[in-house]
Amino acid sequence: MRTPLVVIGALLLPVALTLSAVAAVLLTGHGNCPRLSRPSLPGTRILAMSAVAHPDGMGARASRPGRPVASGVPAFCDVTIILTHPPLRDRVRIQVWLPQSTWNGRFQATGGGAFAAGEFERALVPAVRRGYAAASTDAGVPSTAKSPPVWAQRHDRPINDGLLANFAYRSVHEMSRIGKQVIAGFYGRPPAYSYFTGCSTGGRQGLTEAQRYPGDFDGILADAPAIAWNRLTLAQFWPQVVMNEAGTYPTACEFAAFNRAAIAACDTDDGRLDGIIGRPDTCRFDPGRLVGTSVRCHGRTIRISRVDADIVGRIWDGPTTRTGERQWYGLPRGASFSWLAGTTKPLFGPRHGAPFPVAADWIRYFLLRQPHLDVSTIGYAEFERLFEESQARYGAVIGSDDPDLSAFRAAGGKMITWHGLADPAVFPQGTVDYRRRVESAMGGGEATDRFYRVFLAPGVGHCSGGAGPVPTDPHAALVDWVEHDRAPDTLPAATTGAHPHLSGVLCRYPQQATAGRPCH
């Protein structure tokens, strides 16, 4: 899977240089960073490159007002590359952090979240702490996880297909290629092993790498993957559609009452009384059981109505066509409603929906191409049309759910996915569905387990949090599998909140732990 790399270097691009002179220019590092020559990548042009030494790790950066101190970070060089894809005129930023004396010989590329392709410092700090040369990219769509994808539209046509390709699949691959070249130039040798780690959007990016570029990484940690993005984003909007149609927007307190009742009813389905739903797929709690009961919310007593119960039931069931055909999965019982079924009460006027920004922006920017649209008008009929359009138009670009991983397997790659069963944003049943389809395509469960394993985490939210135990170091399990051929049957996990007694292990899918019995 690892191929010899040509040590090519880096480029500092002065404004006055002509393109013919650029090729001869070398980058001179600042501080203790060595001089590098510019990297090379077909289909791209390097616009700029810089290297900044941080001899005290994050000390100088962390001293700025408002920046938390990142302790334990060794001295490193921060190499930043700006590239473009002519004639797209995009500006893709790739950052590579290189430990100066603590490198463990490995490369770790990192993923993003929501519409952000990379998380940079947040992801790079822990990687460099562990001795990795690490990289992140913004895919040319500089945004945070919460900012809208204003890059989606361009002046001469509705969708900027080039930037969408960057975000969907191209830029992580290019980060892997350039990152390895920079590492080889800096240390005088390529990395012995290369890894990718990410959750949510990062999980989707990891799956995409295994599907499209199977030789990029020896190991991939693809957690809570935003799989089938073209369907998932619409399913994330489904709770708002249900409330729009009903004309009723329950409070978070009312939604929480349904979750408490579901947990009380299904807690012991796995044989354990631990305050979480161990098997939400088998929980059949009927929200209609709460009709007529009262809940105390912010000093008021609210009576649960049939409409409230119907809304909750539809949200749990997930989106369907008007004829009852399932389109995607719904919110797991026990998962918080606040992400996708958010509501708000203005100072003046009635309560209304507060949709999940990623879902609303996918509709506004990529489907309806109306950035300022009031999505509260979308009901069942329009939702069904939008769902079909999203599938047809974007499935091949950002679906990220091709089950044929034969090339990744042939390259010797290993992949681990873990997913919280109380995830309020990316439905875990989508991960289970993908794993089952991979089994069908790759010769069954046993054959798939040789290179791809899934672990489900009861009671855990999106990438972390919740009442259940969270994996403590899944990356270490991946490294052990890749480098020592020790495939993990369990992942050590622990809680840090109110349920420390739940610490233990997560079972390899499809195994489950029940009272008095380990994974079986």
Our CA dihedral for 17, 19, 20, 24, rounded to 10 degrees, sits at 70
DSSP SS3 for 34: coil
Helix (H) or strand (E) holding 431: helix 428-442
Rounded Cα distance, 70 and 46, in Å: 31
List CB contacts of 502: < 8 A, sequence separation 6 or more: 274, 276, 459, 467, 468, 469, 495
Phi, psi of 298 (to 5 degrees): 50, 45
Tell me which residues are annotated as active site. Answer: 200, 423, 462
Helices (H), 130-228: 161-165, 171-187, 201-212
Kindly state the tokens that stand for 300. 């008021």
Helices (H), 188-278: 201-212, 229-246, 252-266
DSSP SS3 for 84: strand
Rounded Cα distance, 489 and 509, in Å: 9
Rounded Cα distance, 462 and 232, in Å: 14
Phi, psi of 507 (to 5 degrees): -90, 145
Contact between 441 and 405 under an 8 Å Cβ cutoff? The reply is yes
Helix (H) or strand (E) holding 457: strand 452-457
Is the peptide bond prior to 458 cis by the omega test (within 30 degrees of 0)?
Answer: no
Q: Would you give the DSSP letter of residue 152?
A: G
